Amino acid sequence: MSKDISSTTLMYSILSVEDSVNTQKDYLDSGEIPEDEIEYEEEILGDLEQALMELIDLYKVRCKADPELPAIEELLGGDSEV
C-alpha cells in the first residue's frame, strides 16, 4: 500500500470531516448534552476542527502541484471560513 493518498481520497476525507464538524456543532448547539459532558463534546469538536485544518493544508499543497483540482473554496461549497 502506498503512503501517499490519492487526491480523490483527500477530497472525500475533507468533506467527511467537514460534515462531522458541522454535526458536532449542531449537537453542541442543540442543548441536549448533559452538563457534565459538554466539555468532552467541545474537545471532540476541537479535535475534528484540527483534523479538518490539517487535511485542508495538505489539500492546498496538492492543489499547487495539480492545478486541475478544484480550489478548496469550491470543494467546500464556497465556505469562507477556510
Residues in contact with 56: Cβ distance below 8 Å, sequence separation at least 6, in sequence order: 14, 72, 82
Q: pTM for the full model?
A: 0.86
Tens-place pLDDT, residues 53-82: 999 999 999 999 999 999 999 999 865 455
**CA-CA distance, 56 to 36, in Å (whole number)?**
32
Res 80: pLDDT: 45
CB atoms within 10 A of CB 74: 10
Percent of the chain with pLDDT over 90: 88
Res 79: pLDDT: 54
Tens-place pLDDT, residues 32-50: 999 999 999 999 999 999 9
**CA-CA distance, 16 to 12, in Å (whole number)?**
6
